[in-house]
Amino acid sequence: MATASAGGGFARKLKAFWNHPAGPKTIHFWAPTFKWGISLANIADMQRPPEKISLPQQCAITATGIIWSRYSTQITPVNYNLLAVNAFMAVTGMYQLSRKLNHEYGTPQKA
């Protein structure tokens, strides 16, 4: 009996997720989901030497992350998938920017 009610609870939650305004039947779910690819690529770029990091690209990633993180908290319903991916983009972008700027301006150039 307890198993049947637990299964019913799961089915109810799955149905609520499926029918949510930011659920998998909408672009509001899939756009941020695929945007995780950019964040994962940025993590992979952490192995790159700092001189090969693109300053304009990392500025764009950081700005996008900050702006859209704020936006995702202001819309109704709040899109937590969008918030998570953009917060992650902002953090990884800031880390890459710090690596680039530290390399360019923080270390003395050898003659």
- pTM for this model (two decimals): 0.76
Sign of the alpha-carbon dihedral angle for 18, 20, 24, 25: positive
With 0-12 CB in 10 A as exposed, 13-18 as middle and 19+ as buried, what is 108? exposed
Predicted local distance difference test score (pLDDT) of residue 86 = 96
| Cβ contact 73:16 at 8 Å | no
pLDDT for 26-57, tens place per residue? 877 888 889 999 999 999 999 999 999 999 99
Interatomic CA distance for residues 96 and 47, integer angstroms: 10
pLDDT for 75-95, tens place per residue? 888 889 999 999 999 999 999
Predicted local distance difference test score (pLDDT) of residue 43 = 93
